[in-house]
A and B are shown apart, each in its own frame.
Chain A
Amino acid sequence: MKMEVSVMKRRMLALFLGITLTMGMVGCSNSSNSTTKDNLQSNTLAGDTAPVESPPSENATFKNPIIVGLANVFTTSDPQNTSSITNQIFYTVSHSNLLKWDYDTQQYMPDLADSYDVSDDGMVYTFHLNKDAYFHNDEPVKASDIIYTFNRGKDFSFVAAKVQIIESMKAIDDNTLEITLSGPSTGFLFDITNPNMAILSEKALTEMGEEGTTIGSGAYYYEAIDFGNEVTMVRFDKYFKELPKTETLIFRQYAEDATRVIALQTGDIDYCQTPSTMELEYIAADDNLDLIQMKGTRLNYMVMNVSEEHGAPFKDIRVRQAINMAINKDDVAAVAANGFGEVQNYYFTDISAGFYGGMDGYNYDVEAAKALLADAGYADGFSFSVLCHDSTARAIAPVLQAQLAAIGVTMHIEEVETAVRNSMIKNNEHDACMAAHVSLVSIDNNLRLLFYTDSGNNRMKYTNSEFDAKLDAALIEQDSAKRQEMYDELQTFVVDEALCVPLYVETLNIAKKSSLHGIKINATGCHDFTYAYIEE
């Protein structure tokens, strides 16, 4: 009975935390446009310190090491060469950016740049760098390193799109950098906070080659890397901000969900990344563990290939609308996410500054779906294949298959590896595919990534020059109210076009020892472990 009460208390606390965080984000995102605008013109930044979740006592000693159990594999030390959230967790600890984005306050925070100035035309940014910042090879961080990093990024797809707006860069002196854009951009500052834009050491890369990507200016340096298994990071004593309390962080991959949770229960690890929803009740029932749940930012959706080259049936908007209306998303979330998902009729989440949630989308209505199909000339239905590349996709697809059968549409599930799926999509060889999108900080980035012509994640192969032009116009619009209006219109437009079937946003589950504090939790899943500690 006592345990039940304790479990209930924990669940209530988790729910309260989740609601508080989500509400906070919603509240911030509604006003984020003006906040963003203010910051764009501001040259002062609020200080960045360790989270004060539960301050340790003065003479406290701290557990060493802290071991983080990861579900996914760490594949590269090069921040410019990946968009994986798991990889990015490492870069938040090992590297620094010019600025950071604080998801809680929806504000820019200082990182390598203490402050910055923006010219009146919004095209010239001058960053003033922290003079105490050093790389892990004991070299000071200089303006030239930032120029080198951004130039290097032009060869990497994840960075190229972010630096293409930069026309020129000039090191005024070692600690002052001037960046001139080819046009005003409201997305530039967002972009430089992305872990892909972490600053690398020119000297390290010149002397060490690719190995030099391990050299950052973050709070921890890499002591040992075993890709796909374990990474050991040690506190960098010349870190330019407050030093972490924990000396060593170990990140270890536990690919098997059950083992990862058991490792947390036995104390072999201190933090468990994305525990399986099947295991949550055990975590909640354990007095030594905390289960934190919050709305995540990862939307699962089904993509329909709407390109002219691919042809019928999805180039017809009525067919796409019918597919959208034939899906009961509650059932999908209940089956595929064991109920830990929030159904959604649009593509992005309120974590994105500029998010608009006012559109209706398409609700479940089988009869209306049938009528639309008949109207489009598919009264007897049609068949198509959907590519499924991971466990989530494989869990969702059978539910969609059964629901679409109700309107006479036959969906063939084609299970393929990620590499095969990506090749097929790139070559426009797919009818449809399952996909997931983690909402980015900027709504512009989200819209651009998913719907802009020829964008890497435009798996629908959607081409609309009018949409592209409007998105480009919004990016350079300096009037925040007008810009928001443009983004609202664009978000409504892509939902109305029914290019995909948005399904549900996964609940973000976090399991950790109750004694573990100081993690900066982030709805994207890219948590910051810089100031993680356990008081002994």
Chain B
Amino acid sequence: MHRYIAKRLLMLIPVLICVSFVIFFIMDLAPGDPALIIAGDQATDEMIEKVKEDYGFNDPLLVRYANYMKGLVKGDLGTSYVSKKDVWATYCQRFPATAKLSVAAIVVSLVLSLTLGVYSAVNQNTWKDNVSVVLALLGLSMPQFWLGLLLIIAFALNLGWFPSGGDTGTWKCLVLPAITIGTNNAALMTRTTRSSMLDVIRQDYLCTARAKGVSEKRVINHHALRNALIPIITIAGVQFAYILGGAVLVETVFAWPGVGRLIVDSINMRDIPMVTGCVVITTMIVCVVQLLVDILYAYVDPRIKAQYTK
């Protein structure tokens, strides 16, 4: 198991090199002169040239990339062209809000999807199943920004139960954005749960359990659901990593100070160090989350654990 984890962590290195190069290359190709942004639109040609010289923009792409990687190896992600702040410090300032929202959203997704998915599978081909499927489709097809605004109008403006936006440090401010993201994600997970449960629900070992007098509730929740969990964990892991990368729309609607808005603002301002730094860190986080998901498989399914041990 430890060897497997070490191997996966080592694989991070080439992944990070590739990702950083691709993003560096793309930002270089993107139109818009960063020197002009730094110098300001009232800058003279001499000022712009000085900025290019100072920031090394006149160097070839590979030289600039090599310099960037030298810093990265030392843990230096560079300094923002716009705010002149350290990229790592800026990311760290934003990440807690994103992490909080991601965890809350995935909890909402799991609660909704497991409940609806299991209920739907157990009541296959009945009106209850149809209602669950329609609800899942509704969640999937509803644009997040629209759902977010509806929730704000209903629960912040009219009922006054939750704040309308911002991270005020209380649990209340998490509720609406988490429901917005969670509902959308839950739709896909509900369908996965349903189909996974349907695969398991007619297995012989469940009939055996029933024949032994195990209650239906225990059969479903303990025997069936546990065996149906692997695909659900896979989807949940992917979605969790996705939200950790920043949910731009929801962050914008709820004025949530997350990583997504930071990246989009930085792209608009051609803040190359900030964009590259954020993408590199996000890549690392996504890889680590995927690794954690793989490890989780082993705890859910002993057969997989046995494979790791081999």
Contact = CB atoms under 8 A, between A and B. Distances in A.
B32 A422 contact: yes
A161 B42 CA distance: 9
A426 B40 contact: no
A268 B41 contact: no
Contacts of A230: 166, 257
Interface string B157-178: 1001001111000000000000
Interface string A227-255: 11110000000000000000000001111
Interface stretch (A14-22, A215-223, A319-327, A451-459): A451-459
Interface in B210-225: none
20 contacts: A157-B40, A158-B40, A158-B42, A226-B93, A229-B94, A253-B255, A254-B255, A255-B255, A259-B164, A259-B253, A263-B164, A263-B166, A266-B157, A266-B160, A268-B163, A419-B269, A422-B32, A422-B36, A422-B37, A455-B42
B68 interface: no
B156 interface: yes
B44 interface: yes
Contacts of A262: 152-153, 156-157, 164
Contacts of A76: 82-84
Interface residues of B, number: 45
Interface string B38-60: 01111110011010000000000
A83 B255 contact: no
Contacts of A253: 255
Contacts of A160: 44, 47
Interface in A77-104: 77-78, 81-83
Contact of A227 (B36, B39, B85): B85
B261 A157 contact: no
B76 interface: no
Given A76-B84, A259-B254, A457 B269 contact: no
B268 A263 contact: no
Interface in B98-141: none
B44 A157 contact: yes
A75 B82 contact: yes
Query: Chain A interface residue count: which class?
Result: 35 or more
Interface in B5-38: 31-34, 36-37
B270 interface: yes
Nearest to B253: A256
Interface in A90-136: none
B90 A157 contact: no
Interface of A: 73, 75-78, 81-83, 155-158, 160-161, 210, 226-230, 252-256, 258-260, 262-263, 265-266, 268, 416-420, 422-426, 449, 454-457
Contacts of B268: 417-419
B261 A229 contact: yes
Given A157-B44, A266-B156, A419-B32, A258 B149 contact: yes
A253 B255 CA distance: 7
A419 B37 contact: yes
B84 A210 contact: yes
A259 B254 CA distance: 7
Nearest to B84: A210
Given A228-B261, A256-B253, A423-B32, A157 B164 contact: no
Contacts of A82: 40
A438 to B, nearest CB: 13
Interface in B264-305: 265, 268-270
A426 B153 contact: no
A423 B120 CA distance: 56
A226 B257 contact: yes
B40 A268 contact: no
- By CB atoms of chain B within 10 A, which of A78, A419, A455, A456 has the most? A419
A420 B42 contact: no
A78 B156 CA distance: 36
B257 A263 contact: no
A535 B93 CA distance: 33
Nearest to B266: A228
Given A158-B42, A227-B85, A229-B94, 10 more contacts: A75-B83, A76-B83, A259-B254, A262-B152, A262-B164, A268-B165, A268-B166, A419-B268, A426-B48, A457-B42
Nearest to B83: A227
A259 B149 contact: yes
A422 B261 contact: no
Contacts of B43: 157, 456
A83 B164 CA distance: 31
B143 to A, nearest CB: 13
Top 10 closest A-B pairs, CB basis?
A456-B42, A419-B32, A157-B43, A229-B257, A157-B40, A210-B84, A157-B42, A423-B33, A254-B255, A420-B31
Nearest to B249: A256
Nearest to A458: B42
Contacts of A419: 31-34, 36-37, 268-270
Nearest to A226: B93
Nearest to A82: B40
B195 interface: no
B163 A422 contact: no
Nearest to B34: A419
Nearest to B40: A157
Nearest to A254: B255
